[in-house]
Amino acid sequence: MQRRNCKVDSKWFCYVCKSYMIRKTGKVITNVIRNAYFYYFGFSVSNTHKPWVPKLFCNAYSTISYKWSRGKKVCFSFSLPMLWREPKNHVDYCYFCLMNVVSLNAKKLAKYKYPEVSSVSKPVPHASNDPLPICPGTSANFMETCSSSPTNSGSDFNMDETYLVSQSELNDLVRNLNLSKQKSELLASRIQEWKYLDT
């Protein structure tokens, strides 16, 4: 996409739920938040260095991330979060350029209809039969996991060598993880986007 400023800056949106933050307040994506996101959804926070990706979590979901990482019985309201892709242009593909935030207040925001564009996949609510993810540890144990986890790095990915995943290996992984069709398609899409799929 040709570089120019978007109509609304991406930094005023929540990375995980896509909401516009009226009060311009959000939480920086810390290592604890990154790891909670990874263990909850099964993939990493990514591309936050790109101008078309938000850099913050809203207060509500940063709080849920911290509470969930400490073993509290809380959860996100969806099984899949907002997914961000690079828009092809600023006219009809850019989520931020199609936002109209003039005179938008908290009351109006509650009923606001966010843009429908192919450059994003909106959050998918939990199905009634979906098992809720369980935190791999609580408090100190989870913090120790955060300090040693590969998602605890300055960049989104830090790999010395690139290994390409074959289709058969991907199929095996999907079976081993017992992923739903929706999540397996998301995993395949992400691996292909990161150019780790051997095609």
pLDDT digits (tens, 9 = 90+) for 135-177: 876 544 444 444 444 444 444 433 344 556 778 777 777 776 7
Confidence (pLDDT) at 94 = 94
CA distance 130 to 23: 33
Contact of 77 with 44, CB cutoff 8 Å: no
Confidence label for 60 from pLDDT (cuts 50, 70 and 90): very high
Give me the pLDDT at residue 54, please. Answer: 94
Residue 15 confidence class, pLDDT cut points 50, 70, 90: very high
Share of the chain above pLDDT 90, in %: 32
Average pLDDT score over residue span 88-108: 89
Q: Read off the pLDDT band of 1 (50, 70, 90).
A: low
Q: How far apart are CA 137 and CA 32, in angstroms?
A: 12
- In this structure, are strands 124-125 and 56-57 parallel, antiparallel, or unpaired? unpaired
- 169 vs 44, 77, 85, 174, CA distance in Å? 20, 31, 25, 9
Q: Is the pLDDT of residue 3 over 90?
A: no
Write down the mean pLDDT value for the chain. 80
What average pLDDT does the segment 13-32 reach? 89
Confidence band (pLDDT; 50, 70, 90) for 4? low
Q: Which residues of 54-85 are buried (b: 16+ CB within 10 A; e: fewer)?
A: bbbbbeebbebbbebbbeeeeebebbbbbbbb
Structure tokens of 116?
């429908």
How many Cα atoms occupy the beta-carbon half-sphere of 171 within 13 Å? 3
Percent of the chain at pLDDT exceeding 70: 80
**pLDDT higher than threshold 70 for residue 103:** yes
Q: How many CB atoms lie within 10 A of CB 34?
A: 21
Torsion, Cα of 148, 154, 160, 161 (10° steps): 100
